[in-house]
Amino acid sequence: MSPLLPDGVRRLFRLSLRRPDLIHEAIDEELRFHIEERVAQLMARGMSADAARIEAIRRLGPSLPEVTQRLHHSAERKERSLAMHERFEEFRSDCRYALRGLARRPGFTAIAVLTLAVGIGANTAIFSAVNALLLRQLPFRAPNELMSIVLVAPATKESAPSDNPWSWPKFNFYRSVQRSHSDLALYANGNFIIGATESERVTGEWISDRYLGTLGIVPALGRDLPANLDAGPGAAPLALISDALWQRRFNADPATIGKTVSIDGRPFMVQGVLPAGFRGVTGRADVLVPITTRDAEDLTQSWSLEFSMIGRLKPGVSATSAESEAALLGTRIYDASPMKESTVGPDAKGGWSAAAHPLDALRVSPSVRRALLVLFGAVSFVLLIACVNLANLLLGRAAARRREIGIRLAVGAGRARLVRLLLAESLMLALLGGAASLLVAWLGTRLLQAANPMEALQAQGLAGLGVVGFANVSLDGAAMCFTIGVTLLVGIVFGLVPALHATRTQLTEALKEGTAATPVRGFHPGISRSMLVVVEVALAVVLLVGSGLMLRSLGNLLSINPGFDAEHVLTMRLGMIPGRIPRDSMPGFYNQLIERLRAIPGVEHAGLADCPPLNGGCNGTIITFPDRPEVKGAQAPGIGVHVVTSGWFGAMRVPLVRGRLFAESDRIGTEKVILISESAARKHWPGQDPIGKRAAIYQGGFHDGATVIGVVGEVRFGTIDSLPAPEVYMPYTQAPRPSLMIFVRGKGDAASLAPSVRQVIAELAVGYPIYDLQPMTERLITASAQSRFLASLLALFAVMALSLAVMGIYGVMAFGVQQRTREIGIRMALGAEPGSVLRLVIGEGAFLAGVGALIGVGAALLLTRVMRSLLFDVAPSDPTTYLVIVALLGAAALFASWIPARRASRVDPVEALRLG
Amino acid sequence: MTAPLSLIKGTLDTLVLKSLSWGPRHGFEVTSWLEERSTGHLAIDDGALYQALHRMEERELIRAEWGVTSNNRRARYYSMTPAGRAHLRAESSALVRYAETVVSILSARTA
């Protein structure tokens, strides 16, 4: 190719201006010309030709080759930069053109932007939750070095091996023999009463001295606990407080450090203030108190398995080797600190072990993880449908612009150039939608924070580490990157397809007069658009089925009889300040409290229990029978243990099935008595009357045996969806506990009892904080929080999906009718009835919806299997759900095609033919 | 004859723009004009001049196009863009101010 063509000509014929060899040739020519001119000039001044040539080259600079090379280089750079600039300018003008085009069609633009805003925004919101709960690093130093080490109890006849926390002696043993960790620490949830006056109850953690060190946290103010606190019981009463508590209770006074504050009635010195935002591994601690300040008894009992262990790996030690070490050392733990026989039953020594896991693996419970992933899947389906709709709209637009595109192609615009032009439009739409989506995402994250289904799970101890939660859901940098990424992807991918499609147009065909000249075969509004509708319907069906299943599951959960009557019951806890009431006076105190509560007008029953129903599990032990052959310890059956007063059964309306409830005569010194649940009766005395039978319960001093005096109804103490387990109830008077929960049944609204109940308690227990006060109905609602959360979000997404799908069907059918006005006119002129036209259009819509529904049902059968563990009492293939969903979708599809169909049946043949 | 003066950075662009302010010129015309006006006192390599032209084209201060000389030779003609004209105005007044200041300091006779 000759370099002699002018640049303008090259541009005109789209010849490359920027091939390096052409650039070089141009430079060489310019230089040649320059040298010739210079030589001519010098010769005119009297130089010889040779001398002039030498001088001309000298004046160029260093040497001819070097100057040439430099100029080649600078010219290439210039051309590259100009080319980039040109591209950019072109892109800018494309965008301006696209924006002008969008502004001219505000209806189309508004629908597209709104669709995308909702689709992308919902995705960003859910992504924020996924990021906060599943992805973001734990807020500790080098969190991947942190391990959780658990004690593994042997399998029993009824249960698989279970993970357990540690007792102090077992922890000490493990710490002394392990080699994998540079630091080990214990922590356990605790409730503390802070302040001698204006006492308040706060959540906190019992910790060992290297807790902060292990996590890599340094107090923001003051110091960490000294390293010698773990030496044994009777440690110096030092405490660390959270930044929040410091602000709230101590007015952020730096002099708080070194001050003495009453914790559970004992003076503690504030040693340090934790960094803002750090609330312990449990995520809720306001105060950290050394375990070694507890009673010596708590620290010597090897069976009080209460503390969770964390460890930081030594540099260079892998998690895997720490895991194998735990498995290896685990078998030695039992012998090093044997359990008391009465707690594990006879011969239960064997089989105990230990296991280590990366701490991160415990961040959320598997069900929360699964629920989030299901939501993420669902919301991405919504976006996919939104995108399909967008592609559909763009295809429609492109079809309407066939002539324009045809003309542009005819006058020589390259296809790539046109695709870029059309792509600019979808990109602009996506960017507008993406920007608007931030508002939706912000609202979404606020809603997620407020809904916080984890709170309920945390209260039940089912949520994982606690430090990971919905409170941390926020629109952070990651969320922004996600939004931008999704926006660009949407703009490019779902704009590219229609753009490529539109520019494939046959020139001659597009240029033929009018749109009506497009070939009409059957009633297909363009095969691509029909396919998009099918895809859309299929996606919507999957979402609808998912949410339908979840709603059915929620319905099943809500119809469960939990075994008690939650209406009119008010529940609360009383913060008992240790040592304020002597142990021996506790029963007297509670008796008095119950009597005064019962005396409140409108109160029917008042009772106490150590653990409320739907608590995610209460304490339990094993049961043996003195009159039967001895069973091996680990093989002995387990049973849930509850300490209650008689009034509790009345307050909760738990029915007495046989025998009698506890009486005043059942107290310390008299024969020990127990009540059992129906399932315990069925299991342990099948076909017999259990009344009067003896059983040994390895807790609360009942391991010598007690007499069954009655059978009561089943109560769900675990989760709402777990079957009632065998339970045994001990009378409070024979098994006193310091901390009990109060249950009061009134005649009217439970919450309205609160003021008088508070007053009675305040009179009897001056300064004792009341906390966790809520109607029992609230606890019942909380118990299904996760299902509610999942079901309501899935339902929301399904509604969005359905609306989008309806919009999609409507759009395609309306477009088809509009394109075929002429054809319909001819049909009607030839005698077609309006009814047959109506049927034709509706039939087409129903066909597309039917194909989509068929594919969707297949996909749903496959995909909803991942929800199996989240569903209660519904199979993922539940036929009812599928039938309802398909019917719902069919109705929606008919509705969506009925409007365009009616319009088609009203076409005036004369008008249609004239306009054509 | 004193040694030729080397140029302060950025000055060359302004001088080239000035030479183009009377209309399009090819590279050699720009050089000869500068030599003529400076009566040979400025040391500018011809190669450096072409590099400056490329740089200014990249910054869109000037535009280049192939043309034909009076004796029918093909040559690359450079012309000033509106941006170039603005640049020339701004830079030349700055250079003049600079030169005047330097001169007034150096010609001071009292402390």
**What HEC string does A182-246 produce?**
EEEEEEEEEEEEECCCCCEEEEEEEECCCHHHHHCCCCCEECCCCCCHHHCCCCCCEEEECHHHH
Using pLDDT thresholds of 50, 70 and 90, give the confidence band for residue A861.
Answer: very high
End-to-end CA distance of chain B: 32
The answer to whether the beta carbons of residues A835 and A905 sit under 8 Å apart is yes
Chain B residues with CB under 8 Å of A55 CB are: none
Give the separation between CA A531 and CA B68, rounded to whole angstroms. 60
pLDDT tens digit sequence for B54-77: 999 988 899 988 888 888 888 999
Chain A residues with CB under 8 Å of B60 CB are: 82, 85
Q: Tell me the CA distances in angstroms from A686 to A167, A678, A706, B16, one per residue in order.
A: 37, 10, 19, 109
Interface test with A, best of B12, B30, B31, B58 (most A CBs within 10 A): B58
Taking the CA atoms of residue A275, residue A280, residue A286 and residue A291 in that order, the dihedral angle to the nearest 10 degrees is -120
* A798-834 b/e (C-beta count within 10 Å ≥ 16 → b): bebbbbbbbbbbbbbbbbbbebbbbbbbebbeeebee
Q: At what angle do helices A415-451 and A402-410 cross, to 10 degrees?
A: 140
Interface test with B, best of A28, A67, A69, A73 (most B CBs within 10 A): A67
Q: Does A38 touch chain B (CB under 8 A)?
A: yes
Q: Pick from B47, B57, B66: which is nearest to A67 by CB?
A: B47
Q: What is the mean pLDDT of residues A181-189?
A: 94
Give the separation between CA A807 and CA A817, rounded to whole angstroms. 15
| Residue B99 to chain A, least CA–CA distance (Å) | 28
pLDDT value at position A544?
92
- Within 10 A of A374 (CB to CB), how many other CB atoms are there? 20
Taking CB atoms and an 8 Å limit, are A6 and B66 in contact across chains?
Answer: yes
What token pair was written down for A412? 């020589």
In terms of pLDDT, which residue wins out, A350 or A694?
A694
In this predicted structure, which of A8-12, A853-857, B20-24 has the lowest mean pLDDT? A8-12
Q: Tell me the CA distances in angstroms from B53 to A316, B26, B79, one per residue in order.
A: 60, 10, 10
Q: What is the mean pLDDT of chain A?
A: 86
- Helices (H), ranges, A512-562: 527-558
Give the separation between CA A780 and CA A615, rounded to whole angstroms. 10
Percent of chain A surpassing pLDDT 90: 42
Q: Give the residue carrying structure tokens 């030092």.
A: A238
Chain B residues with CB under 8 Å of A75 CB are: 54
Secondary structure of residue B7 in the 3-state scheme: coil
- Within 10 A of A872 (CB to CB), how many other CB atoms are there? 19
Using pLDDT thresholds of 50, 70 and 90, give the confidence band for residue A731.
Answer: very high
Q: What is the mean pLDDT of residues A860-884?
A: 90
Q: What are phi and psi of B17, to 5 degrees?
A: -60, -40
* DSSP 8-state assignment for residue A702: -
Secondary structure of residue A504 in the 3-state scheme: coil
pLDDT value at position A15?
47
Secondary structure element (H or E) that encloses residue A811, with its range? helix A785-819
Using pLDDT thresholds of 50, 70 and 90, give the confidence band for residue A582.
Answer: confident
Give the separation between CA A760 and CA A758, rounded to whole angstroms. 6
Q: Pick from B27, B47, B57: which is nearest to A61 by CB?
A: B47
Taking CB atoms and an 8 Å limit, are B73 and A77 in contact across chains?
Answer: no
Q: Is A669 exposed, middle or buried (0-12, 13-18, 19+ CB in 10 A)?
A: exposed
pLDDT tens digit sequence for A106-160: 888 898 899 999 999 999 999 999 998 899 999 999 999 999 999 988 876 667 7
Give the separation between CA A651 and CA A199, rounded to whole angstroms. 29
pLDDT value at position A513?
47
Percent of chain A surpassing pLDDT 70: 92
| Residue A49 to chain B, least CA–CA distance (Å) | 18
Q: Give the residue carrying structure tokens 């620290």.
A: A299
Q: What is the mean pLDDT of residues A571-581?
A: 82
pLDDT value at position A514?
47
Secondary structure of residue A613 in the 3-state scheme: coil
Q: How far is CA A337 from the centre of its chain?
A: 41
pLDDT value at position A350?
66
The answer to whether the beta carbons of residues A470 and A451 sit under 8 Å apart is yes
Q: Pick from A4, A60, A75: which is nearest to B54 by CB?
A: A75
Q: Does A69 touch chain B (CB under 8 A)?
A: no
Taking CB atoms and an 8 Å limit, are A71 and B54 in contact across chains?
Answer: yes
The answer to whether the beta carbons of residues A254 and A439 sit under 8 Å apart is no
Taking CB atoms and an 8 Å limit, are A61 and B57 in contact across chains?
Answer: no
In terms of pLDDT, which residue wins out, A712 or A841?
A712
Q: Give the residue carrying structure tokens 């959540």.
A: A203
Give the separation between CA B77 and CA B27, rounded to whole angstroms. 7
| Residue B77 to chain A, least CA–CA distance (Å) | 10
pLDDT value at position A407?
83
The answer to whether the beta carbons of residues A282 and A275 sit under 8 Å apart is no
| Residue A81 to chain B, least CA–CA distance (Å) | 7
Q: Pick from B48, B54, B55: which is nearest to A61 by CB?
A: B48
Chain B residues with CB under 8 Å of A78 CB are: 54-55, 57-58
In this predicted structure, which of A419-433, A532-546, A633-647, A670-684 has the lowest mean pLDDT? A633-647
Give the separation between CA A503 and CA A425, rounded to whole angstroms. 14
Q: Does A67 touch chain B (CB under 8 A)?
A: yes
The answer to whether the beta carbons of residues A120 and A475 sit under 8 Å apart is no
| Residue B28 to chain A, least CA–CA distance (Å) | 6
Q: Residue A424 pLDDT > 70, yes or no?
A: yes
pLDDT value at position B8?
72
String of DSSP letters for A820-836: THHHHHHHHHTT--HHH
The answer to whether the beta carbons of residues A743 and A591 sit under 8 Å apart is no
Q: Pick from B32, B51, B60: which is nearest to A41 by CB?
A: B32
The answer to whether the beta carbons of residues A550 and A236 sit under 8 Å apart is no
Q: Does B67 touch chain A (CB under 8 A)?
A: no
Long-range contacts of A623-627 (CB under 8 A, 24+ apart): A623/A680, A623/A684, A623/A695, A623/A696, A623/A697, A623/A698, A623/A726, A623/A728, A624/A345, A624/A695, A624/A696, A624/A698, A625/A684, A625/A693, A625/A694, A625/A695, A625/A696, A626/A694, A626/A695, A626/A696, A626/A705, A627/A693, A627/A694
Taking CB atoms and an 8 Å limit, are B55 and A41 in contact across chains?
Answer: no
Q: Is B97 exposed, middle or buried (0-12, 13-18, 19+ CB in 10 A)?
A: exposed
pLDDT value at position A665?
87
Interface test with B, best of A9, A24, A35, A37 (most B CBs within 10 A): A37
Which residue on chain A is closest to B46 by alpha carbon? A60
pLDDT value at position A518?
45
The answer to whether the beta carbons of residues A693 and A673 sit under 8 Å apart is no
Give the separation between CA A314 and CA A533, rounded to whole angstroms. 58
Q: Pick from A71, A77, A85: which is nearest to B50 by CB?
A: A71
Q: Does A188 touch chain B (CB under 8 A)?
A: no
The answer to whether the beta carbons of residues A143 and A358 sit under 8 Å apart is no
Chain B residues with CB under 8 Å of A67 CB are: 45-47, 50
In this predicted structure, which of A7-11, A22-26, A185-189, A792-796 has the lowest mean pLDDT? A7-11
| Residue A6 to chain B, least CA–CA distance (Å) | 6
pLDDT tens digit sequence for A747-796: 989 999 999 999 999 898 887 888 889 999 998 888 888 888 889 999 99
What token pair was written down for A913? 């033919």
- Within 10 A of A849 (CB to CB), how many other CB atoms are there? 30
The answer to whether the beta carbons of residues A385 and A541 sit under 8 Å apart is no
Chain A residues with CB under 8 Å of B74 CB are: 4, 29, 33
Radius of gyration of chain B (CA): 16
String of DSSP letters for A730-785: EETTTS--S--EEEEEESS-GGGGHHHHHHHHHHHSTTPPEEEEEEHHHHHHHHTH
Q: Does B45 touch chain A (CB under 8 A)?
A: yes
Q: Does A74 touch chain B (CB under 8 A)?
A: yes
Chain A residues with CB under 8 Å of B54 CB are: 71, 74-75, 77-78
Q: Residue A703 pLDDT > 90, yes or no?
A: no
Taking CB atoms and an 8 Å limit, are A6 and B51 in contact across chains?
Answer: no
| Residue A18 to chain B, least CA–CA distance (Å) | 14
pLDDT tens digit sequence for A167-182: 999 999 999 999 999 9
Residues with Cβ within 8 Å of A354's Cβ and at least 6 positions away in sequence, in order, are A149, A150, A151, A152, A174, A326, A327, A329, A330, A333
Taking CB atoms and an 8 Å limit, are A33 and B28 in contact across chains?
Answer: yes
- Within 10 A of A157 (CB to CB), how many other CB atoms are there? 11
pLDDT value at position A505?
57
Secondary structure element (H or E) that encloses residue A787, with its range? helix A785-819
Chain B residues with CB under 8 Å of A2 CB are: none
Give the separation between CA A670 and CA A662, rounded to whole angstroms. 12
Q: What is the mean pLDDT of residues A33-37?
A: 90
Q: Does B71 touch chain A (CB under 8 A)?
A: no
Chain A residues with CB under 8 Å of B62 CB are: none
Residues with Cβ within 8 Å of A173's Cβ and at least 6 positions away in sequence, in order, are A332, A333, A336, A337
Taking CB atoms and an 8 Å limit, are B75 and A30 in contact across chains?
Answer: yes
Using pLDDT thresholds of 50, 70 and 90, give the confidence band for residue A346.
Answer: very low
Taking CB atoms and an 8 Å limit, are B76 and A30 in contact across chains?
Answer: yes
Give the separation between CA A196 and CA A660, rounded to whole angstroms. 43
Q: Tell me the CA distances in angstroms from A642 to A658, A727, A741, one per residue in order.
A: 18, 7, 12
The answer to whether the beta carbons of residues A680 and A712 sit under 8 Å apart is no
Give the separation between CA A704 and CA A694, rounded to whole angstroms. 10
| Residue B105 to chain A, least CA–CA distance (Å) | 35
